[in-house]
């Protein structure tokens, strides 16, 4: 494992990156203009590896939110009337710009959300993919003709843009999880008001504003209002203007966002938390299952809704699996994401660190054993945000680290006796986002996958999968609706029935 030392690399002046606006990031983006902070409070953008403040952005007010939605409403109709190929071209240009600014984005991913080089590559690729798929939707939003039970009538089903789309996005994969809504929304003729998470106002919001501005998006179609969730979140999610409210984040907050949106007859699209099980059956290839388990638990410090939250391993493989996974965890290089070869960076903030450490401590008190990890290193220029990849044995499904979404680099390993017990354990949660099953017998694995109550399951892999052309979403407390390709088309457009009576109709009176 590498040292926790940080600060040896010269930090980038992120206000001077090529991707940055001319006057830096300290502005809102409203009606195609970078609005200076003025007398608004600021949100400090801190590097979680060094705890240094890199820049500041304005903390938007409720009045700013109102203005942004008014601007978006005014701009939407004209944008929707533009030819679909024109709308698609703007989104496609942003896709190209993401590639052109890949080095700047890698820097921002590292210093804003602790993303290592591998994570930056994943996020850049996913963002470009969702831009490409989103642009393609512009040419696929037409309706269809259906037969009628009434003689001489023609039925037409026509898709129209939903209108204004409100978007609230998280800090863990900020650029991608924002783009997967913003790109198709704009391509389909909607306008957008975006509130990025306060931990990542740049990569979750203002970066997209800069990219779309350079791509030639008309003023007012995209507006970005960074702000603290506890200050403007309720006002944003209950705003009467948007037709759609998209939220990605915790189930607790998502429930509140959904309730407030529905109160305004706004359609919610919610992708929430997960407690994903990695099921290793008795005939699984142990090495392959461990490889997948390590990747699924420790990538981006486990800070993903589709990370492995629980490893369910057949009792005949349990000891070997625990030992092998612990060995893999101990070998992972930890440090500043800007250091070459680092695979595990810091968690995003103190609150996240305290939650992870607290769940580990409570689980050990309940009888689990730490096989490796579980230390938080303090000192230097940082504040102890590097949580070591941790493997816990002797865990039961009701222990805190397994019963809760820990969102950290922690791998609790739970034994089971039968396939039926594995399914019961996997389903013993309010969540239902993703999961994985390992077996040499694909039919057997498929039986288990079919019985798992989740929106997504991956056989002989791990849950950390997302492809922009495949439906993504969960059940239960993991959300409602589906993202990506044709499945988000239903959310971002409204289906209108238009009938044409071609011949005179006979009425009963």
* Nearest to 89, CA basis, from 179, 222, 215, 205: 215
CB 388, CB 343: distance < 8 Å: no
Whole-number Å distance between alpha carbons of 226 and 122: 25
**Segment holding 488, helix H or strand E:** helix 485-492
Q: Please name the residues in contact with 5: beta carbons below 8 A apart, sequence gap of 6 or more.
A: 335, 336, 380
| Interatomic CA distance for residues 491 and 62, integer angstroms | 26
CA 202 to CA 19: how far, in whole Å? Answer: 11
d(CA 1, CA 341): 11
CB 167 within 8 A of CB 195: yes
Which residue is listed with tokens 């501005």? 213
Nearest to 127 by CA among 111, 107, 109, 114: 109
Contacts of 304 (CB under 8 A, 6+ apart): 172, 173, 407, 464
For residues 294 and 485, give the distance between their C-alpha atoms in angstroms, rounded to a whole number. Answer: 30
Answer positive or negative: Cα dihedral of 123, 411, 272, 358.
Answer: negative
Residues 205/125, Cβ–Cβ less than 8 Å: no
Helix axis angle, 207-215 relative to 84-100, nearest 10°? 120
477 torsion bin: left (phi>0), alpha (psi -120 to 50), beta (else): alpha
Q: What is the DSSP letter of 204?
A: I
* CA dihedral of 137, 141, 147, 149, whole degrees rounded to 10: 120
Closest CA to 414 of 405, 400, 402: 402
Instruction: Single out the catalytic residue among 123, 198, 271, 405.
Output: 271
Residue whose C-alpha is closest to residue 398's, from 427, 428, 356, 434: 428
| Residue 271 a catalytic site member | yes
Residue 442 neighbours by CB distance under 10 Å = 12
Query: From CA 442, how far away is CA 386, in angstroms rounded?
Result: 38
Q: How far is CA 308 from the centre of its chain?
A: 15
CA-based nearest residue to 290, from 302, 278, 305? 278
Residue located via tokens 């979404």: 405
Supply the residues annotated as catalytic.
271
């Amino acid at each position: 494992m590498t040292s926790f030392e940080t600060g040896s690399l010269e930090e980038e002046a992120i206000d001077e990156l090529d991707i940055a606006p001319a006057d830096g990031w300290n502005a809102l983006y409203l009606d195609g203009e970078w609005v200076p902070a003025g007398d608004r409070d600021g949100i400090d953008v801190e590097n979680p590896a060094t705890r240094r403040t890199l820049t500041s952005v304005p903390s938007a007010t409720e009045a700013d939110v109102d203005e942004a939605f008014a601007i978006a409403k005014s701009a939407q109709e004209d944008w929707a009337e533009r030819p679909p190929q024109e709308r698609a071209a703007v989104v496609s240009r942003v896709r190209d710009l993401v590639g052109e600014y890949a080095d700047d984005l890698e820097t921002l991913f590292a210093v804003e959300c602790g993303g290592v080089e591998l994570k930056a590559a994943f996020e850049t690729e996913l963002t470009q993919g969702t831009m490409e798929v989103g642009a393609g939707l512009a040419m696929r939003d037409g309706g269809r003709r259906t037969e009628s039970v009434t003689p001489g009538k023609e039925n037409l089903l026509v898709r129209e843009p939903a209108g204004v789309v409100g978007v609230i996005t998280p800090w863990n994969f900020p650029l991608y999880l924002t783009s997967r809504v913003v790109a198709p929304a704009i391509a389909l003729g909607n306008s957008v008001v975006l509130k990025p998470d306060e931990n990542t106002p740049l990569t979750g919001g203002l970066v997209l504003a800069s990219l779309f501005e350079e791509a030639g998006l008309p003023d007012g179609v995209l507006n970005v209002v960074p702000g603290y969730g506890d200050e403007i979140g309720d006002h944003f999610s209950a705003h009467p203007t948007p037709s759609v409210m998209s939220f990605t984040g915790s189930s607790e907050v998502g429930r509140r966002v959904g309730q407030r949106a529905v109160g305004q007859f706004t359609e919610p699209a919610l992708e929430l938390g997960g407690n994903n099980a990695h099921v290793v059956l008795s005939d699984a290839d142990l090495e392959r299952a461990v490889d997948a388990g390590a990747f699924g638990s420790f990538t981006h410090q486990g800070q993903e809704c589709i990370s492995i939250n629980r490893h369910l391993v057949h009792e005949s493989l349990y000891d070997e699996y625990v030992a092998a996974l612990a060995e893999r965890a101990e070998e992972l290089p930890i440090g500043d994401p800007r250091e070459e070869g680092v695979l595990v960076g810091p968690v995003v903030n103190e609150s996240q660190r305290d939650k992870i450490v607290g769940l580990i401590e409570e689980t050990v008190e309940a009888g689990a054993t730490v096989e490796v990890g579980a230390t938080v290193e303090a000192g230097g220029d940082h504040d102890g945000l590097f949580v070591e990849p941790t493997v816990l044995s002797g865990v039961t499904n009701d222990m805190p680290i397994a019963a809760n979404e820990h969102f950290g680099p922690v791998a609790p390993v739970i034994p089971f006796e039968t396939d039926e017990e594995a399914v019961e354990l996997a389903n013993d949660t309010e969540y239902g986002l993703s999961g994985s099953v390992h077996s040499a017998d694909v039919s057997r694995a498929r039986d288990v996958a079919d019985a798992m109550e989740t929106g997504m399951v991956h056989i002989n892999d791990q849950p950390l999968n997302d492809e922009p052309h495949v439906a993504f979403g969960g059940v239960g407390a993991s959300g409602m609706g589906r993202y990506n390709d044709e499945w988000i088309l239903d959310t971002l457009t409204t289906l209108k029935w238009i009938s044409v009576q071609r011949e005179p109709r006979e009425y009963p009176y």
